Amino acid sequence: MLLRQMSNFIASSEAQYEDLYKQSTEDPKKFWSDFAEQEFVWHKQWDNLLDYKLSSDANDLGVKWFEGAKLNITENCIDRHLAAKGEQTAIIFEANDPKEEALHITYSELAKNVNKTANMLKANGAKKGDRICLYMPMTPELAYAVLACARIGAVHSVVFAGFSAKSLSDRVMDSKCNLVLTADGGYRGNKITSLKEITDEALMSCDCVEKVIVLNRTNSKIAMEYGRDVWWQEEFAKASDVCPAEIMDAEDMLFILYTSGSTGKPKGMVHTCGGYMVYVNYSFRNVFQYEEGDIYWCTADIGWITGHSYIVYGPLSAGATTLMFEGVPSYPDMGRFWEVVEKHKVNIFYTAPTAIRSLATCDMRLVTKHDLSSLKTLGTVGEPINLEAWEWYDEHIGKKNCPIVDTWWQTETGGIMITSLAGVTKDIPTYATLPLPGIQPCLMDESGNEITSAEGEGRLCIKYPWPSMARTIYGDHQRYADTYFSSFAGKYFTGDGAKRNAEGNYRITGRVDDIVIVSGHNLGTAEIENIINEHELVAESAVVGYPHDVKGNSIYAFVTLKGTSESGAVTREIRELVAKTLGPICKPEKIQITTGLPKTRSGKIMRRILRKIAAGDFENLGDISTLLNPECVEEVIKGRV
């Protein structure tokens, strides 16, 4: 049998990449139609491959792929593999505690477990179209639950288990979930997160939730609310392992995933069944060049899009073996990742620059004591990777013998957009490099014109739809139009800035809007400001990101107080308030108390200027004379902390 999964849509040489790219732009519809037809199980063909209008008018804006087609994504991720690879491992589970035995879950076990979980959901009232919130630790049950929702046509909304009660209740309420799946607790390093306690607090302000299914993971003492809460293990035991897949329309909702926005309110990005399935399978196979038998490990949490697309749906739809890790990189010591690579003979390893940077500062013996010779491909995702971190990864982990794919994409894009293809197209340190065939990026200048020269720098947009693009923001199509389609006519605006070199390679320079990426997590500055402003002494605040050696970016808060200049206790209280309401990761590293914030005449805080000051770049503040209060700029510079 041939090793690479043969398909004429998976590039195996640079020339083939170029040929596919050409085909995909010359006739995108034929390209996607041929790939989709060849590679998946459909119950019915689509009537119309693509119908779209990229308009800033919400009434006019819409994207539909494979309209009229019928499918269930779990049949493509599970059932179709059973005949040939029922006994092959689908999921390797490595627990937080290295002493806990790893699990090897075969495709046929996965099928049974997903079906049982699906029947458990049904027995607790779940039905097609319901939104179900998953607030869970990284155990196999989370993967089963994601797939079980998809099996019965319910919409999953996974909320990262590090989020606070307020963040959880906002998300549960926004999409009116009627079911919440959680656990008594979650292991993270030497701590246990009290997931059930946080859920109880969150649900005090939610009236939509009827049932809570609680996984016993940590044997923690928790309260069960009679009539609302049931134990996962008891319900699971009662459920049958046969559950026919609900037949879905290609454009039915598959999941909602919340991501930070530039107002305080998170955006529920909506992904649909057909297009998402097609693109995550396509991108997984092309980017990582997965071969039969490979052990693939993506270190993300399923609470982020990376986990959805490249722990669960991408790898399983390709019949791969995907490793799920419950723990953290630092427990029991900073060598844990490398210990897991050695233990499971991982071939493909995909992680975030922030993890690489923090592991690079450790005692090298934690790396060298492990045999990493199984590795053949490395990947990064989440933020720009700096040269130093790239070189460390290449030398010490890849032993200068593994391609590194620097994959640029977003929650909104559903799948990887710009990257090299492992061992097929060239990687260039700090560059994401080239778009996948089917993806048409462009750079726009400040006046809204496309930069047509080969080399250039501007705002990164995408000119043509791709199958896994988010279809809307749940409950707010207007906001979807405003955020992504109003900056540049007829194009999807990513919010990122990028440079392009003469050979067409892209280097992502970072967000140009009000999102800060701290340790790979997307944080909305406005959300943090809203919390700071709740402090009784705070008049106003502006939160920006500034470059940080380990975290990539860190949070800097400029705060004005109500008629007092006291700062000692206030700054401490602000930090505590933010940590408690939004989670410790959002805590401002620096807080500067100032008497004024630079504003436009219409009263908008000029975060652009504050961003420069926070970064220590006072030279290029631009024209400040148009400000309402130009005099305050000098004071802010002097008071920089």
Give dist(CA 311, CA 305) in Å, integer: 9
For the chain, the helix, strand and coil percentages under 3-state DSSP, each to the nearest 5: 30, 25, 45
Task: Report in angstroms how near the CB of residue 203 gets to ligand 7RM at its nearest.
Answer: 26
Instruction: Identify the residue whose tokens are 């995702």.
Output: 381
433 binds ligand 7RM (CB under 6 A): no
Task: Report in angstroms how near the CB of residue 425 gets to ligand 7RM at its nearest.
Answer: 15
User: What dihedral do alpha carbons 129, 133, 137, 143 form, nearest 10°?
Assistant: 0
Secondary structure of residue 171 in the 3-state scheme: helix
Instruction: Give the range of 358-366, 509-517, 560-568, 597-605 binding ligand 7RM by CB under 6 A.
Output: 509-517
User: What dihedral do alpha carbons 427, 430, 436, 441 form, nearest 10°?
Assistant: -140
383 binds ligand 7RM (CB under 6 A): yes
Task: Report in angstroms how near the CB of residue 275 gets to ligand 7RM at its nearest.
Answer: 17
Task: Report in angstroms how near the CB of residue 254 gets to ligand 7RM at its nearest.
Answer: 17
421 binds ligand 7RM (CB under 6 A): no
Give dist(CA 306, CA 385) in Å, integer: 17
Question: Whose Cβ is closer to ligand 7RM: residue 256's or residue 597's?
Answer: 256
Secondary structure of residue 515 in the 3-state scheme: strand
Question: Whose Cβ is closer to ligand 7RM: residue 68's or residue 456's?
Answer: 456
φ, ψ dihedrals at 172, nearest 5° = -60, -40
Question: Whose Cβ is closer to ligand 7RM: residue 301's or residue 383's?
Answer: 383
Q: Which of 329, 495, 552, 588 binds ligand 7RM (CB under 6 A)?
A: 495
Between strands 377-381 and 404-407, the pairing is parallel
Task: Report in angstroms how near the CB of residue 496 gets to ligand 7RM at its nearest.
Answer: 5
Which residue(s) pair with 510 in the sheet? 497
Question: Whose Cβ is closer to ligand 7RM: residue 141's or residue 496's?
Answer: 496
Which are the contacts of 422, defined by CB distance < 8 A and separation ≥ 6? 287, 288, 289, 348, 377, 379, 403, 405
Question: Whose Cβ is closer to ligand 7RM: residue 294's or residue 412's?
Answer: 412
Return the residues of window 363-382 that contact ligand 7RM according to CB under 6 A: 381-382
Site string for ligand 7RM, 120-149 (x = CB under 6 A): ------------------------------
Please give the sequence-ordered ranges of beta strands (E in DSSP) within 173-326, or none if there are none.
179-183, 186-188, 191-193, 211-215, 229-231, 248-249, 253-259, 267-272, 295-298, 321-325
Q: Quick one: which of 318, 319, 427, 326 has its CA closest to 380?
A: 427
Q: Which of 511, 587, 599, 607 binds ligand 7RM (CB under 6 A)?
A: 511
Q: Which of 65, 282, 408, 492 binds ligand 7RM (CB under 6 A)?
A: 408
492 binds ligand 7RM (CB under 6 A): no
406 binds ligand 7RM (CB under 6 A): yes
384 binds ligand 7RM (CB under 6 A): yes
Residue 157 near residue 308, CB atoms below 8 Å: no
259 binds ligand 7RM (CB under 6 A): yes
Give dist(CA 449, CA 254) in Å, integer: 35
Task: Report in angstroms how near the CB of residue 294 gets to ligand 7RM at its nearest.
Answer: 22
Q: Which of 74, 124, 167, 306 binds ligand 7RM (CB under 6 A)?
A: 306
160 binds ligand 7RM (CB under 6 A): no
Give dist(CA 361, CA 538) in Å, integer: 37
Site string for ligand 7RM, 520-539 (x = CB under 6 A): --x-----------------
Task: Report in angstroms how near the CB of residue 360 gets to ligand 7RM at its nearest.
Answer: 17
Task: Report in angstroms how near the CB of residue 413 gets to ligand 7RM at its nearest.
Answer: 8
Helix (H) or strand (E) segment spanning residue 157: strand 155-158
Question: Whose Cβ is closer to ligand 7RM: residue 275's or residue 495's?
Answer: 495
Residue 569 near residue 602, CB atoms below 8 Å: no
Give dist(CA 356, CA 287) in Å, integer: 20
256 binds ligand 7RM (CB under 6 A): no
Task: Report in angstroms how near the CB of residue 554 gets to ligand 7RM at its nearest.
Answer: 16
354 binds ligand 7RM (CB under 6 A): no
Which residue(s) pair with 79 in the sheet? none
508 binds ligand 7RM (CB under 6 A): yes
Which residue(s) pair with 605 in the sheet? 599
Distances in whole angstroms, Cα of residue 342 to Cα of each of 53, 263, 329, 374, 478: 49, 44, 14, 7, 49
Instruction: Say how many CA atoms lie within 13 Å of 302 toward its Cβ.
Output: 28
Task: Report in angstroms how near the CB of residue 483 gets to ligand 7RM at its nearest.
Answer: 12
Q: Which of 96, 199, 407, 541 binds ligand 7RM (CB under 6 A)?
A: 407
Distances in whole angstroms, Cα of residue 610 to Cα of each of 509, 521, 537, 545, 613: 18, 21, 21, 9, 5
Question: Whose Cβ is closer to ligand 7RM: residue 511's or residue 587's?
Answer: 511
287 binds ligand 7RM (CB under 6 A): no
Helices (H) and strands (E) in the chain, counts: 21, 30
Give dist(CA 626, CA 641) in Å, integer: 26
Q: What tokens appear for 405 in the block? A: 């794919």
Q: Quick one: which of 253, 230, 272, 258 has its CA closest to 173?
A: 258
Q: Which of 78, 168, 305, 341 binds ligand 7RM (CB under 6 A)?
A: 305
410 binds ligand 7RM (CB under 6 A): yes
Question: Whose Cβ is closer to ligand 7RM: residue 187's or residue 480's?
Answer: 480
Question: Whose Cβ is closer to ligand 7RM: residue 66's or residue 546's?
Answer: 546
Give dist(CA 321, CA 408) in Å, integer: 23
Question: Whose Cβ is closer to ligand 7RM: residue 494's or residue 505's?
Answer: 494
299 binds ligand 7RM (CB under 6 A): no
Return the residues of window 447-486 that contact ligand 7RM according to CB under 6 A: none
411 binds ligand 7RM (CB under 6 A): yes
Amino acid at 352: A
327 binds ligand 7RM (CB under 6 A): no
Q: At what angle do helices 14-26 and 28-39 cross, to 10 degrees?
A: 110
Count the site residues for ligand 7RM by CB under 6 A: 22
432 binds ligand 7RM (CB under 6 A): yes
Residue 211 near residue 228, CB atoms below 8 Å: yes
- Binding-site ranges for ligand 7RM (CB under 6 A): 259, 305-306, 381-384, 406-411, 432, 494-496, 508, 510-511, 517, 522
